[in-house]
Amino acid sequence: MKGKWLDVSYKYGALFIIAAVIAIFSIVNENFLSYDNMADILRSISIVTFIAIGVTFSQIVDGFDLSVGSTVSLTTVVTATLMVWFQFPLIVVLIVPLLIGIVIGLLNALLIVKVRIPDLLATLAVMYIIGGVHKTYTQGFSIYNNMQMTDGTKAPGKFTETFLWIGQGKLLGIPVPVVLMIIAVVLVHVFLTYTRWGRQMYVTGGNQEAARLSGIAVNRVRTFAYVLSGIFAAIGGILFAARVGSGQIDAGAPLLMESVAAVFVGFSVLGAGKPNVIGTFFGAVLIGVLLNGLTMLNLPYYAFDIIKGSVLVLALAITFIHLTRRRT
């Protein structure tokens, strides 16, 4: 009986928690379940979901990418400066941050795959490097319309309406970031579940030596995973800039923990027991619902990290207790 209860809690626990949290907050605040608030929650988690998808890819190949937060910060300020400082067209504004994400992914892969530095240490080092780069690049200033330049002049460019629509607009009444998030989750799920590359990533993460003996190019697959992680973090940076209409130098710092929490909560969704994009999405939903509800209750912002940390501990406990039981 105890074992069956553990199995049920492991498979459906995260979904039950999401439903319970929504029910509690809707009782406490009648506006919680309004369409506008639900749209705000989904819009807020769209950025976290993109970053968390990147972390999911690194987790699938038995790695970990701590540099995603700094990648968001760098790509956010680069996106902003391309418009505000240099007045580049939209296509350049979108492509350059993605290329930066690819370069960061390749750097991580070089250190981890070729130099063989443990993934946590390698991505931690890259996190600090990127953090220094983006603060040096902006000289520690956030980027915004009509900002004062160091020579005393005003910045010549501004955020265009087309770009801001990506983060603030709606498509058929649905926020554009939410539409992009749903498309991304569906496409990544299809990629991981039904394509050869997706299956090879899971095999590589499960046992690298067995994957190598079966003919899989393990190093190439691991490199691909870190490049994808950089790309999705870069997309998160673009969306952040489009949503707030400025380039915040520390935009990605708080998003790292939220994305990691979403990934680990996702381990237990529907009993997956492994990194998966559907679970990651529901993990992001849980984090978003919690933060939104706590904000509506007017709790101090510094208490939010306690809640996020507790959720992560709970998710890890459920996951690893079940995995330990299954192995024994």
Is CATH 3.30.70 the right assignment for the domain spanning 20-327?
no
Helix or strand (DSSP H, E) at 50: helix 35-60
Residues 84/157, Cβ–Cβ less than 8 Å:
yes
The tokens of 145 are what? 């319309």
Using the CB atoms, write b or e for 96-124: b if 16+ within 10 Å: bbbebbbebbebbbebbbeeebebeebbe
- pLDDT score at 272: 62
| Helix intervals (H) in 139-252 | 161-168, 176-194, 196-206, 208-213, 218-244
**pLDDT per position in the chain (328 positions), as tens?**
555 666 666 667 677 778 888 888 888 888 888 888 888 899 989 999 999 999 999 999 999 999 999 999 999 999 999 999 999 999 999 999 999 999 999 999 999 999 999 999 999 999 999 999 989 998 888 899 988 887 778 888 899 999 999 999 999 889 999 999 999 999 999 999 999 999 999 999 999 999 999 999 999 999 999 999 999 999 999 999 999 999 988 888 889 988 988 998 888 776 667 889 999 999 899 889 888 888 888 877 777 778 777 776 776 676 666 656 655 5
Locate the domains of the chain by residue range.
20-327
Give the pTM.
Answer: 0.92
Q: How far, rounded to the nearest angstrom, does the alpha carbon of residue 162 sit from its chain's CA centroid?
A: 24
* Confidence at residue 270, expressed as pLDDT on a 0 to 100 scale: 65
